Structures are given as structure tokens and as C-alpha cells.
Amino acid sequence: MLTDHLLSLITFLPLVGMVLILLIPKDRLGAIRWTAAAATGVTLALSCWLWFGPFDAAIGGIQLRESAPWIPAFNIHYTMGVDGLSLPLVFLSALIHFVAVFASWNIKKQAKGYFALLMLLEVGVNGVFLALDFFLFYVFWEIMLLPMYFLIGIWGGERREYAAIKFFLYTLAGSVLMLVALVAIWLKSGGMSGGTFDLLVLQEMARNWAADPSTFLGMKFTTWIFWFLFIGFAIKIPVFPFHTWLPDAHVQAPTPISVILAGILLKLGAYGMLRINFPLAPDAFHHFAYALAVLGAINIVYGAYVAMGQTDFKRMVAYSSVSHMGYFLLGAAAWTFTGLNGATLQLFTHGTSSAMLFLIVGVVYDRLHHRNLNDFGGLGKRMPYYMGLSIVGMFAALGLPGLSGFISEAMTLMGSYQVYPVLVIVSTLGILMTAAFLLYAIQRVFLGPLPEKYESVPDINGREAFCMIPFAFLCVLVGVLPSLILDKMGPTLELLRDQLAAVVGG
Amino acid sequence: MLASLLQHGAGTAGHAAVAAGAAAEAFGPATAGWLLAVPLLPLAAWVVQILVGRWLPRQGDWLPTGAMGAAAVIAIWHFVKVLALHDPEFDLAAAVELPRWKFFFSDPSLTTGLAGFSAGILYDNVSAALLAMVALVSFLVHLFSVGYMQGDSRYNVFFSNLALFTFAMLALVISDNLLFFFVFWEIMGLCSYLLIGHLAADRKEPKMSAAWASMKAFMTTRIGDICLFIGMMMMWKAFGTLSFRELYAAVEAHVAGHGGDWSPWLTGAGIMMFLGAVGKSAQFPLHVWLPDAMEGPTPVSAMIHAATMVAAGVYLTARIYLLLSPTAQLVVACVGGFTALFAATIGITQFDIKKVLAWSTISQLGYMICAIGAGGVAAGLFHMLTHAFFKACLFLGSGSVIHGCHHEQDMRKMGGLRKKMPITYLAMLVSTLAISGVPLFAGYYSKDTIIAKALERGLAEGGLIWALPFWLLVVAAAITSFYMFRLIFMTFHGRPRAHCSEHAHESPWTMTVPLIVLGTLAVLGGKFWLLDPLGAFSAGGEWFTELVHDPVHFVDHETAHHAHLTAMGWSLAAAGGGIFLSCLFYLWRRLDPARVAAALGACYRLVYDKYRFDELYLATVVRGSLVVSHLAAWLDRTFVDGLVNAVGRIMAGLGTASAATDRVVVDGAVNFVGEATAAAGQRLRRLQTGRIQQYAYFTFAGAVVLAAVVLYRVF
Amino acid sequence: MELSAYLAVAALLFLIGLVMVAARRNLIYVLMGLELILNAANLNLVAFNRFRPEGMEGHLDGQIGAVFVIILAAAEAAIALAIVLNIHSLFETIRPDDIDTLKD
């Protein structure tokens, strides 16, 4: 009974939380926080149950499908479903939002509005991962955009308006391109006479589009929609050269929002590529895969180098995200089974490790009120537990075996090496630089003599540890037992890979 | 030709079956469990120690130490069983069903790519010997640390890291595939980072130099690691497997399929994988991290230099030997030989007792690498084992000296410690004799074999370049014995030269027991000649080379025997010459080293400064990376982000312009009407004074005008 | 008597009333001026009735109009005085120049 509408529950429970929060008087902070925690907590519990309960790993395709007519005039349906690609990301989203609530415990300024927006954000994110109707997908995509704008623009740092507007405009530009593609696809699929937004149906139709030789302004239809969708999603990932909103947004956003941004929002773009972009334009993807792989390699190396050149702790971590998301693009472009699994796992592992890194930055910022790497030092002496957790997070990020980052990076690189050996070898430079800047950061923050002014800095408290430990645990768990996740993803990704191979004949 | 080169031993199928049967009898079905327990015991100790170690009695130091002790017992027990089998072809996998771990995907229906990968246990003669050695030496280092690290502010953390380090090395030794090898290889990298930098996070007086050293170690070895990873990917792409055994067969088939020629990419892949060993085993040109690694506490140095980290590089080279093309082998041999000599020269000039030992380690590793490159896989591994014993002994001995001298490391301030620390002295002397290659001591047998192998290969291949390794090694042998005895004489002989050495004292039992055990092994670890003293001098009979055979023989038995004798002569002469020269300088003081140094001038300075490689790397690689990164950051800020902002500004400008048009032209017309009305109103409203009397005037005036109009029709 | 004599007296009364309305600095006098103007008109009405043309005898239109005006004036005076009282209580003055809020 519950399983019939499980996906809708996971998506809309936070909305219930939001309504409840809006009903609570604004000065009852405790009630607001606990309502938020309860709403996200139940969502997390449901997504755990989804993982271990009704989800059948052996099925590669869509499961637990829900469908109902929504706007019959345009053949728009409310269709939800889950498969091995979205399952880990839904779980990650639920976890990150749950942790974000606790990471937001200290927010006093207009807390009611803050938590309400946070809930709305989770609705959007979960909806994007579970929607199977392109129109529904787009609606959730836009729902998610709005709270993010306000969360950065109201609760951010000194230059929050600039960052928020930059974020908003960038993402909106992407959305507009996606909207154009959405309409084009709908018209192509039949428009008012039989057009559809159902992604599964569209994927089937895409085979015919690929075979259609007619062009518009010198490019095939699939090429057009491929690039429109790609740029739309690439901005979100973010792919070089569309990445500059990310550091600004991260630096200005409050810690929990940075955690959400790096942990889950960046994955939406990647998810969109795998779910919509590549399957709907398989021939174009095949044709431009090398360009995508080059972009991925640029992301990896360039992001790592730029991160090395930062003095702001948070900016450095933000650029490390740019670098790490490059692995996804590289592995996805290679489209081998190993590379694809590695790339998708990278979404999960980066979600955990980057969330942890931003929590780490948040802890030190809360205590010392600055983020200048050159002005720290010796904190390991006063904050040994914090140092221990930070080392787990940072080494997970730099791809140390035994921690999650290694599994995904190794799989991505090994899978991509089958197709693009030179690019992979170039990318290894990024691995080296990642190690360099993270170790240099550890050194500047934790090691050496402790300056007098930081003599009374307290170690992390229970709440902060509670936020970090789930991620640290996941970093270790996935690093040691990657099959826990890979078994769930494998069949779906194999199906996905075969679908595309069937179109391009590879 | 090649097929004959690649033949493995001489056993027939029937012989193999018999041997497997014997092995199956010796090793029951529980063997896999026992073997896994060896690495898992320290792992478990680590988990407990890292979580609750702080609150355990004695900060839990007994836990990793005890776990290591148990692991050592298991490892040695199994090794003894292997020894008893005495089968050069022994492989546990052939005898017992071993578990396999489908690591990435446990779902058996998935087999594509890495989904088909599974990890297993490799337990043959080499792993057996190595496992026992690593477990034993690590246990002794743990024991030693109990005494040495007393009073350290992060005592519990130190032990947990040490346990993890050992776990990684033990697991690496029994990994049967490159990927897991790489995994544990990297975990060791992490542990070395944490342990070298141990004092950088000290709660009392953190050492910044340790922080830099740890970072340097991690980054330098990581360069090698990445090369190893690339080599691994090349192999995987070509052959679709990472298991050592399958790779051997695949490469052999590949080479046979190409008419016995090695493809250039195979050479490249081999060299790439070897570069991993170059990093971990501190070979030229990635040797720079190891001397700096002395910033770690001394037990860590012993651990890194003897049992774990650097040994892993040698072990890797041995494991991939069959994947190396002849060209790659030449590269390996030359890198090893050059490093052996190069590091030895630097060893002469150093004064820090640990630095001397560090350079000697690099030099000795050069021997091992060179031996493997030259085809003497067994010889290289043999030297790795004996070296582990005497180098661990030397490091722990130096630790004991440093402990006794209140943390003084400069040999110029020592002297005359012989009487104050007799056990330490004896252990170190024995180890020095071993490292110098004096007969009867362990190092002699292994080193001798290495030099013989280098000569053999030189004879087999002919040509100048293949003769190089042999001569490099002989010269290095002379220098080794020179600087090692210099160390002994400066530290233990003569008179105390400073306050600290006058008040030195012998260390507690936890520190001397490991010294005694290791010292004994430094004597008997090469050949157990106690029962047969005369056999000590005859050729052959070393336990290791009997147990482990070289996979390829380049010369026939006759030539080998001949080469062995020649090599023995050269190596004895080199050792003797070195010791004699050392006595002249430092024991009998017939020559003054300072004057020789002054006479050599700039040359001496160059060697003393380690050929300025640190400066070179700092100026090129490190600065280069930093400059590039700052450039990239600047580019990102000004150009990429600048472009975005420029687009933003242009858009905003266009917006302003269109707004202006709208305001001036379109809205202008509308506004004009409105404004004109308003202006008229403004003017007219002045009439409205609000004074009724005025209004009355106006009314009257209006009435007059109206009257005039009506009456006289004026308008 | 001539009609013009009545008219001249009425005109004089009107002028005096007008000047009072326009120039006095006290609302009471202004009201009195108004009364004078009204009475000037009354005088005219009565005079014109007295000197009505031939064939219009029996018509008392002028007188009736004058009576109406008197009644109106009384009512007006009552209302106006009430307004003046209110103005006084609101502005605390009855100088017409000070009361110019009408302009806004």
C-alpha cells in the first residue's frame, strides 16, 4: 500500500514540513527546527526503506512507477519512478537535507522562512530525481531554483546579492535552453496531436530522430537538442567555462547551503545528462563524446590548479568540486560500463566527501570568523577530533584507497582509459594537484605551532560531529564495500549503455 | 628463444601434482582464514585503537603490539610450513580452495569491465617469506615504540597509525592483483604521511619541518603512484585483467604472438609500473623524500625503511618482473645501480646519524632494484629480507642511541658510547658488518648474489651498457662499508665529544629486546650456518635462493658459478677496502676527513647538499606548479569570470539603453502631455489662495465682466 | 420719488456690503456685509415692484422675492455663524486671511 505512493511521499513529505513550519509562530524556534528535522528525517527513513525494501536491484529498468494525468490537454502526466541511477541520489539528497537541518541549527535570522525554503528545496531536488515526465522534471527543476536564490541571497555572506543573482541568472539561462529543448522535443514528438513528455517513450522515439537526416540551420534536430540540453545541464554541473558561479555561490552561501549545493545540486546536472540529454540525442552524444571528454579533463586539471591557487578555504573547496565533477563528465563521455559506473558513483562519493569538506570549512569559520588559509595553523592541537574527521574527509576527496573517492575515480579513469588514454593520462595531473592542495590545506590549518589568538578555540561539539559522522561513515563504507551501491546501479547503467549502443551501433 | 627464457623451473606436470598434494596436506582448509587474520589483526587493533584507544589503560599500546605479536606468530608458523615443504613451485592457490572477493560488484550476473574483477590471496614462497619478515619486524618495531614513544603527546594516535601501516603492508604482500596491490600501496602512503608528520601535530612543540617532510613524502611517492596507476590501466586495457598470474600468462602469450618481440607500449607500461616502485622505494630521481622522512619518530623510520614502505617498491618490481620487456629491465637495472652509487656518495658526507642511514637505505634499495632488473629476482628479494633485519636493527639502534643521548642526532656530538650502551653497540656493529657484506653476516650472502647476478646478466647480454650495473654496484659496495663504519666509529668509538653523550644510558628492555632479535637475524638471516660453520663459506645453500628461484636464467650453470666467484672476489675486496679506509680516517685517525673535504671544496659541498636535487625540484616542479596554479587562479578570476561579468555588464548596458529609449521616446510623449497639464495646473493653482475674500473679488470681477458683456456686448 | 433714488441707495448699500465682505478682517463683519448686499438686493426688488409697468398691478412678485431673501438670509446667517463658531474652535481665529486651507 505504502509502496504504491512511496516516491510521491519521499518527494512531498518535505512540503508537508514546510506547511507545518509556516503554521508555527515565528518566535518558536525550537518547534520550527524540530519540525524541519522530523520532515527531513522521515524522508530519509523512507528513502532508506526504499533502498533496502521494495527496490529490486536485479531489475535494471524503472520501478515503483506512479502515473496520473496532470494536464491532459498537452498530454502531461504526473509520472514518477526510480531506478538504479536515481536511487543512490535520492538517498543522498534525503541524507544531505537531513544533515543540513542540523547544520542550520544556529541560524536565527528569519529562521521560519529559512527552514521553509529548505523544505521546498528538498521537494524540488527529490522531484527532479524521481520525475519521469519531462515537463514534471522541468517544473521540479524550477521549483528548486527559487529557494536556492533566496537562501543564498538572504542568509549569505557580504556579497550575497551578487552571488545569488549570478547563480540565478546562470541557472536560469540553462533553464531557458532546457525549456526551448523541451518545447522542441514535444513538437517533434507530435505536438498537439499525440505529443508526449514521457521520457521513456521519448527515448524510444529518439532512435527515429537519430536516423532523421533533415537539418535545421545546418544541424540535425538531435544535435540541436543535444547542445541545448547539454549547456543547460553543464551549467549546473558546472562544466568549464560555465563554472564561475560556483565559487561565488559557495563562498557567499551559509554552510548548510554550501553543503546542499556541492552535495546534491551539482549532481542534478549530471543526472539530467544521463537521464535526458544523452538518451534523447544518442547520435549527437556519440558524435561529440570526445569534446565532452576533453571538457571533463579540463575540469579535472584546471579545477585542481585553480584550487591550488586559492587562499580562501571555502573557495579552494569549491574549485575542488569543479575538479571532481570533471571525473563524471570524463567517465560518462567514455560510456564504457566501468567508466559509466565510476562516473555515477563519483556523483555519490563526491556528494559525501564535498559535503564533509564544506562542513569542515563551516566549523572553522564559525570559530575563527575567517577563511584565510594563510591565517590558520596548529589547530590540530586544540581540535584533535576535528582534525581526525577533516583528514577522513580530505583524504576521501583526494582519492585515497579505502575511502570512497578512490573507487569512483579509479573506475572512471580505468573505464575512460579504454577509450581516451591520452585524456586520462592528462587528467592524472589533476589527481596530483588535488593531493597537493588538500595536503597543503591540512598543513596550513592543523599543523605547526598554534597562534596565541586561537588558544581558546573549542573542539567540535556534538551537533557538528553528528553532521559529519554520517558522511565519514559513508566515505569509509563505500570505500571498503563499493558493491553496496554498485550492485544497485550496475544493471541500470548496463541497460542505459546498451540502449545507446543500439542506436549508434557501437 | 624467448620460450626458453621464460621457462619456469624444471618441474614436470607429475611433480607439480605431487607437490600440490603435499601442500594440500600441510595447509588445511582453514589456511585462508589464518592468512587473512595476519593483516586483519592489526586492522582490528587499528579500529579499536582509533575509536577508543585514548581511554584504554596505557592508552592501548598493548593492543596493536599484541595483535602484531599474534600476527607475527601466525605468519611465521605458516612460513615454517612453507619452508618445510621446500617446493620452489609452491603456490597455495594450487593446493587449497581460496576465497575470492568480488570487490566492485558482488552481483554475479555483472561481468563487464571491472564487474568481472575479483580479488584473491597470493601465497607463494615469496609472499610467505615476506609476510613473516614484515610481521616480525613490525612487531619488533611496535615493541620498541612502547619504550621509545613514552611520553609522546599523541601516543595512542601513533600506535593506531603504526597498526594501520602494518596492516597495509601485510595485505599488500598477499594481494594477488595489481589493483589491491595499489590500494594497500596507497594506504601505506597515507600512513607514512601521518607518521612522518606525527610530530607536526605534537601537542607540546609541533615541528613544522615534519609537516613539510610528510607532505613531500606523500607528494613524491604519489607521482610514482600515479605512474603505477597509468601502467596498471595500460595493462588492463590490453589484457582485461589485473591478476598477476593472468597478466604473466597474457604477456607471455602476447609476446609469443608477436614473434617474440615486445611491443613498445609494453615496455612503456612496464616502465610506468616500475616508476611506482621508483617513488615508493626512493629510487633516483624520486629519492628526495626519504631522507626528509627522518623527521618522523625513529621507530617510524625503521618501519618505513626496513619492513614496509620501501620494501613494497622492491616487491612490486619483483612481482611485475615478468611483465618487463628487456629494455624496461635495462632501465630498471640502471636506475637501481645508479641509485646505489649515487646515494652511497651522499651517505659519506652526512653527520646526522639517521640521515646516514636514510641514504644507505636508498643505496641498498638500489641494489635490490638493480638485481631485479638484471634478472636476479630472488637475489633482490633476498637482499630485501636481510636488509629488513639489519636496517631495522640499525634504525632501532640509532633510535636507542638518540633516546640515550636525549634526542641528539648529530654524530659529531657523540662518540664513546660503546661502553655506555653495550647492547646497542653490539647490535649495530653486527648490522654494520652485515650491510657492508662481511662474510658470515646475512648481508654478505644476499649482496654477493646481487653482484653476481649483475655480472651474469652483463656477460649474457654483452655490451657496455649492461656491464654498467655490475661496476656501479661494486663501487657502491666499497663506499657503503666506508660510511657505515664511519657511523660506527663516530658514534661508539673515541671519546664523548659533547655533554649529551657523556650522560648516555642503555635503553629499557622493550627497546633492547628488538635489537637483540634483529641483531641475531642480521647474523643468521642469510644462511643458518651455526650448525654447519664450514658451510658458511661454501657457495649456495642460502635458504631464500633455494626456496625462490629466478623465473628466467640468462646463463648456464657453469658461467653462473664462475661469475659468482668473480663477484665474490670483487665484493670482498670492495668491502675490505671500504672498512680499511674508514679505519684510517675515523678509528686510527691517520687521515683527517675535514682536510679531505676542504681539498675537495665545491665537489664536497655539492655532495653534502645532496647534489642539490631538493633545490632543483623546488625551483622547477614545486615552484612551477605553484606558478601555474596561481596563474590559473588569476586567469579564472580575471578572464573566465571576467568574461562572465563582462557579459553580465553588456546585458545590463543593453538593458539600460533600451530602458532609456523607452523612457525618452515612448514614455516621453505620454509624459509630456501629463507634465504639460501638471505644469499648467501648477501655475493656475496660485490663483487658489484659499482666501474667501479674494474669491469674492473674483466673483465680483466676474460678475462685472459678465454684466459688461451682456449689457454692452464688449466681446 | 424717482426709482433711481431707490436704486442709488441700494447701489450704495451694495457697495458698502461688498467692501465689508472683501476687506473686513473679521468674519462677523464679512457676514454683516453679506447681509447688507442681500438687503441692497431686497431694496431693489421692492423698488422695482413699486414702480412696476402698466397692466401689472396686483402683482407682488418683488415683495414676495424680498420676503424669500430675508428668510434665506436668516437661515444663512444661522448656518454661517455656526460655521464661524466651528472655524473659531478649529483655527482659534476668525480672520479670513488666516484660513486658507481651502487652497489645498
Cβ separation A308–B633 shorter than 8 A = yes
Cβ separation B644–A243 shorter than 8 A = no
CA angle B174, B179, B180 (to 5 degrees): 35
CATH of the domain at C28: 1.10.287.3510
Using a 10 angstrom Cβ sphere, with 0-12 exposed, 13-18 middle and 19 or more buried, the burial of residue A237 is: buried
- B208, B229, B630: residue with CB nearest A448: B208
- pLDDT for res B541: 67
Number of H helices, E strands in chain A: 21, 4
Confidence check: pLDDT of A424 > 90: yes
User: Which of A159, A300, A305 is most worth mutating to test chain B (most B CB atoms within 10 A of its CB)?
Assistant: A305
Q: A touches C (3+ CB pairs < 8 Å)?
A: no
A63: β partners: A82
Q: Average pLDDT for residues B113-122, to the nearest whole number?
A: 85
Using a 10 angstrom Cβ sphere, with 0-12 exposed, 13-18 middle and 19 or more buried, the burial of residue A275 is: buried
Confidence check: pLDDT of B9 > 50: no
Alpha-carbon span B500 to B488, nearest angstrom: 17
Out of B581, B608, B635, a domain closes at B608
Chains that touch B (3 or more CB pairs under 8 A): A, C
B410: β partners: B352
Confidence check: pLDDT of B590 > 90: no
Q: Identify whether B585 is part of a domain.
A: yes
Alpha-carbon span B159 to B148, nearest angstrom: 12
Confidence check: pLDDT of C32 > 60: yes
If asked whether residues B541 and B683 sit together in one domain, one would say no
Residue B451's pLDDT band (boundaries 50, 70, 90)?
Answer: confident
- pLDDT for res B271: 92
If asked whether residues B576 and B702 sit together in one domain, one would say no
Alpha-carbon span B316 to B277, nearest angstrom: 6
Q: Taking a C-beta distance cutoff of 8 angstroms, is the pair A56, A63 a contact?
A: yes
Strands A63-71, A76-82: pairing kind: antiparallel
Confidence check: pLDDT of B11 > 80: no
Helix, strand, coil shares, percent, chain B, to 5: 75, 0, 20
Q: Identify whether C19 is part of a domain.
A: yes
- pLDDT for res B412: 81
pLDDT tens, residue by residue, B33-86? 888 888 999 999 999 888 887 888 888 888 889 999 999 999 999 888 888 888
Encode A425-450: b = buried (16+ Cβ within 10 Å), e = exposed: bebbbbbbbbbbbbbbbbbbbbbbeb
Confidence check: pLDDT of A347 > 90: yes
Residue A192's pLDDT band (boundaries 50, 70, 90)?
Answer: confident
Q: For chain C, how many structural domains are there in total? A: 1
User: Which of A439, A450, A476, A498 is most worth mutating to test chain B (most B CB atoms within 10 A of its CB)?
Assistant: A439
pLDDT tens, residue by residue, B307-360? 788 888 999 999 999 898 888 999 999 999 999 998 888 888 888 888 888 899
- A440, A447, A487: residue with CB nearest B200: A447
- B107, B114, B222: residue with CB nearest A435: B222
Alpha-carbon span B133 to B391, nearest angstrom: 13
Quickly count: other Cβ atoms within 10 Å of residue B445's Cβ: 29
Confidence check: pLDDT of B15 > 60: no
Searching chain C, which residue's CA lies closest to the CA of residue B696?
C22
> 668473480: which residue's cell?
B566
Out of B583, B608, B633, a domain closes at B608
Alpha-carbon span A383 to A464, nearest angstrom: 13
Beta strands in B591-633 (DSSP E): none
The torsion region of residue B563 among left (phi > 0), alpha (psi -120 to 50) and beta comes to alpha
Alpha-carbon span A114 to B563, nearest angstrom: 82
Confidence check: pLDDT of B13 > 50: no
pLDDT tens, residue by residue, B466-508? 888 888 888 898 888 888 888 888 888 877 777 776 777 777 7
Percent of all residues in chain A with a pLDDT value above 70, rounded to a whole number: 99
Lowest-confidence region among A478-487, B562-571, B599-608: B599-608
- DSSP per-residue letters across B63-79: HHHHHHHHHHHHHHHHH
If asked whether residues B34 and B111 sit together in one domain, one would say yes
Residue B1's pLDDT band (boundaries 50, 70, 90)?
Answer: very low
**Coil, strand, or helix at residue C93?**
coil
pLDDT tens, residue by residue, A11-26? 999 999 999 999 998 8
- pLDDT for res B7: 40
- pLDDT for res B539: 63
Alpha-carbon span C20 to B137, nearest angstrom: 128
Model-level pTM?
0.84
Q: Identify whether C44 is part of a domain.
A: yes
- pLDDT for res B231: 92
Average pLDDT, chain B: 84
Residue B263 DSSP class: P
Out of B608, B634, B665, a domain closes at B608
If asked whether residues B392 and B444 sit together in one domain, one would say yes
If asked whether residues B482 and B631 sit together in one domain, one would say no
Q: Taking a C-beta distance cutoff of 8 angstroms, is the pair B390, B140 a contact?
A: no
Torsions phi, psi for A107 (to 5 deg): -75, 120
pLDDT tens, residue by residue, A220-260? 888 888 999 999 999 988 888 888 888 888 888 899 999 99
With the C-alpha atoms ordered B170, B171, B172, B176, is the resulting torsion angle positive or negative? positive
Q: Taking a C-beta distance cutoff of 8 angstroms, is the pair B374, B337 a contact?
A: no
With the C-alpha atoms ordered A131, A136, A142, A143, is the resulting torsion angle positive or negative? negative
pLDDT tens, residue by residue, A23-61? 998 888 889 999 999 999 999 999 999 998 888 888 888
Cβ separation B693–C23 shorter than 8 A = yes
A82: β partners: A63
Instruction: For helices A87-103 and A483-504, give the axis angle rounded to 10 degrees.
Output: 130
Chains that touch A (3 or more CB pairs under 8 A): B
Q: Average pLDDT for residues B382-397, to the nearest whole number?
A: 87
Alpha-carbon span B401 to B501, nearest angstrom: 9
If asked whether residues B209 and B160 sit together in one domain, one would say yes
Cβ separation C30–B685 shorter than 8 A = no
Percent of all residues in chain A with a pLDDT value above 90, rounded to a whole number: 42
- Which residue range forms the structural domain that includes residue B31? 13-608
On the question of a cis peptide bond just before residue A241, with omega within 30 degrees of 0, the verdict is yes
Q: Taking a C-beta distance cutoff of 8 angstroms, is the pair B277, B331 a contact?
A: no
- pLDDT for res A18: 93
Q: Average pLDDT for residues B125-137, to the nearest whole number?
A: 88
Residue A128's pLDDT band (boundaries 50, 70, 90)?
Answer: very high
Q: All 3 cell numbers of residue B236?
A: 588492463
- pLDDT for res B263: 86
Q: Taking a C-beta distance cutoff of 8 angstroms, is the pair A489, A344 a contact?
A: yes
Alpha-carbon span C61 to C68, nearest angstrom: 11
- Which residue range forms the structural domain that includes residue A272? 2-504
Confidence check: pLDDT of A278 > 80: yes
Alpha-carbon span B484 to B360, nearest angstrom: 8
Torsions phi, psi for A47 (to 5 deg): -70, -30
- pLDDT for res A344: 93
Residue B622 DSSP class: I
Q: For chain B, how many structural domains are there in total? A: 2
- pLDDT for res B670: 82
Cα–Cα separations (whole angstroms), residue B536 to B389, B438, B531, B567:
19, 12, 10, 17
> 674508514: which residue's cell?
B582
Cβ separation B631–A309 shorter than 8 A = yes
Cβ separation B697–C22 shorter than 8 A = yes
User: Which of B693, B697, B700 is most worth mutating to test chain C (most C CB atoms within 10 A of its CB)?
Assistant: B693
- B690, B693, B696: residue with CB nearest C103: B690
Confidence check: pLDDT of B8 > 90: no
Closest Cα to residue B331, out of B268, B238, B281, B249? B268
If asked whether residues B111 and B203 sit together in one domain, one would say yes
Q: All 3 cell numbers of residue B327?
A: 629494455
Q: For chain A, how many structural domains are there in total? A: 1
B101: β partners: B119
Cα B471 to its chain centre, rounded Å, is: 28
Cα–Cα separations (whole angstroms), residue B154 to A21, A217, A451, B54, B206:
47, 69, 20, 9, 11
Using a 10 angstrom Cβ sphere, with 0-12 exposed, 13-18 middle and 19 or more buried, the burial of residue A120 is: buried
Cα dihedral A369, A375, A380, A384, rounded to 10, equals 10
pLDDT tens, residue by residue, A60-96? 888 888 888 888 888 889 999 999 899 999 999 999 9
pLDDT tens, residue by residue, A441-466? 988 888 888 888 888 888 888 888 99
Compute the nearest-CA separation of C18 from chain B (Å).
Answer: 9
- pLDDT for res B3: 39
Closest Cα to residue B405, out of B339, B352, B333? B352
Q: Identify whether C103 is part of a domain.
A: no
Q: All 3 cell numbers of residue A451?
A: 597562534
Closest Cα to residue B183, out of A398, A480, A69, A172? A480
Compute the nearest-CA separation of B669 from chain C (Å).
Answer: 29
A335 vs B: CB within 8 A: no
Cα–Cα separations (whole angstroms), residue B434 to A468, B481, B517, B537:
51, 10, 15, 15
- pLDDT for res B540: 67
Q: Taking a C-beta distance cutoff of 8 angstroms, is the pair B150, B51 a contact?
A: no
